[in-house]
Amino acid sequence: MTIAGRIAAPQGGVRERIAESIAEFVALRQELHHHPELAFQERRTSARIAALLEGWGYEVTPLAGTGVIGTLRNGAGRRLAIRADIDALPIHEATGLTFASAVPGVMHACGHDGHTAILLAAARYLAETRRFRGTLHLIFQPAEEIGQGARRLIGEGLFDRFSVDAIFGLHNWPGVEEGRFGFIEGPAMAGIDQVDFRVRGKGGHGAAPHEAVDPVVAAAHAITALQSVVARNVDPLEAAVVTVGAIHGGAASNVIPDSVEMKLTLRSFSARTREVLAARVPALLTGVVQALGATAYIDYRPGFPAVVNHAAELRIAREAALAALGEGAVLPTLAPRTASEDFAWYLQEVPGAFLFLGNGEGAPLHSPEYRFNDAILLPGATLWAALAEAFLSGDIQ
Ligand SMILES: [Zn+2]
Ligand SMILES: [Zn+2]
């Protein structure tokens, strides 16, 4: 199995062919943007996707409520999955675009409308040209933003019903050059966990602290001690973040409250570091608070693991980008992102890679001013099409 063998598959003209119909997908992207739908409510969106896929000859299977799987078979061969996320966010759009959200308080502020249009543009090309051997499964996933879509698809038997040899996904990235791809080796996006922490003491008069157990002082010591986790427990060659993002307690200067509540976010890039945080943070919070006579109540809420790219699949995607779009389309380097993605769950099940596509300068993801850049639909769709042809080349065993 060699890269040379893969790239021997015919790839000429992919970009040109997709370019012929890209205007339709720009219009589709703007239509999806105008009708954003929140997690697990993407009924209009998934009906639109299903109808298009059926029209192009895909077998369409609904899964996980509003999820859609489009399958295209072209003889015996390998099985490839490509995923796009389809949900919007509870944000009130402030772009002023003519096709801005028609739904107050709901917005495609993460570009999932763009990811969907990119995959659909590739889907149409692949159905019309069929220059591959094997099976293609296109996964249109709901509810990425609440971190539940991928898990629910897997829980409903995604990989039992549709066995795949590899899976790929991408995310647009504001601040990265328009139309250029980033291929990050190994950990690409952070794992995330949350801790809800309550310190229970004994309330009393602010003038008689000896008769109370002060949860404010205990919470302050706990926050200070938390700084030692990254500094002293995490391997210095690994990255991690421990942030106390919220703290609430008390209401008056002369009253010692009964309790103080805190919310923490924990970020990590490897299973090992994630385990260190999961062990040390609760142990330290409990120990410090108990030493000061208070009681700790800890709700440790696991989120996603880190997105960890598989080396062979990342290389295949990179080679496909070089072959179809040229060297200018590939960024020499891109640093891992501290944001999180539920694509991580797929990569725990099957080999694959998660790629980044520059959206150009502009407002960040999840901003009410964020604008998906329609100029990246063409390179995005070209990459998916070229990758499918390379991965599902008849020459490859
Ligand atoms: Zn998002
Ligand atoms: Zn997103």
Domain boundaries, the chain: 14-189+306-393, 196-303
Q: How many CB atoms lie within 10 A of CB 50?
A: 18
Two structure tokens written together for 106: 């709901």
pLDDT band for position 10 (50/70/90)?
A: very low
- For domain 14-189+306-393, the CATH superfamily is Zn peptidases (3.40.630.10)
The closest ligand to the CA of 354 turns out to be 2
- Write out pLDDT tens, residues 145-196: 999 999 999 999 999 999 999 999 999 999 999 999 999 999 999 999 999 9
CATH 3.30.70.360 for domain 196-303? yes
Enter the pTM of the model. Answer: 0.88
- Write out pLDDT tens, residues 42-76: 999 999 999 999 999 999 999 999 999 999 999 99
d(CA 249, CA 198): 10
Q: What is the mean pLDDT of the chain?
A: 95
Does residue 366 have a known ligand-binding role? Answer: yes
d(CA 53, CA 55): 5
Share of the chain above pLDDT 90, in %: 95
d(CA 296, CA 261): 10
The closest ligand to the CA of 112 turns out to be 2
pLDDT band for position 9 (50/70/90)?
A: very low
pLDDT band for position 4 (50/70/90)?
A: very low
The closest ligand to the CA of 172 turns out to be 2
pLDDT at 76: 93
d(CA 380, CA 82): 12
366 CA from centroid of ligand 1 (Å): 6
19 CA from centroid of ligand 1 (Å): 27
- Write out pLDDT tens, residues 275-296: 999 999 999 999 999 999 999 9
pLDDT at 338: 87
| Contact criterion met (CB below 8 Å) for 220 and 294 | no
Does residue 37 have a known ligand-binding role? Answer: no
The enclosing H or E element of 263 equals strand 259-268
Does residue 171 have a known ligand-binding role? Answer: yes
371 CA from centroid of ligand 2 (Å): 13
213 CA from centroid of ligand 2 (Å): 44
Among the listed residues 321, 278, 281, 320, the one whose alpha carbon sits nearest the alpha carbon of residue 302: 278
- Write out pLDDT tens, residues 234-244: 999 999 999 99
343 CA from centroid of ligand 1 (Å): 12
Mean pLDDT of 331-337: 96
Does residue 92 have a known ligand-binding role? Answer: no
| Contact criterion met (CB below 8 Å) for 378 and 119 | no
- Write out pLDDT tens, residues 88-117: 999 999 999 999 999 999 999 999 999 999
pLDDT at 394: 55
pLDDT at 12: 63
pLDDT at 32: 98
Does residue 59 have a known ligand-binding role? Answer: no
10 CA from centroid of ligand 1 (Å): 35
pLDDT at 396 over 90: no
188 CA from centroid of ligand 2 (Å): 14
37 CA from centroid of ligand 2 (Å): 14
3-state helix, strand and coil shares in percent for the chain, rounded to the nearest 5? 40, 25, 35
First-to-last CA distance in the chain?
A: 7
257 CA from centroid of ligand 2 (Å): 40
Two structure tokens written together for 44: 């209009």
- Write out pLDDT tens, residues 258-275: 999 999 999 999 999 999
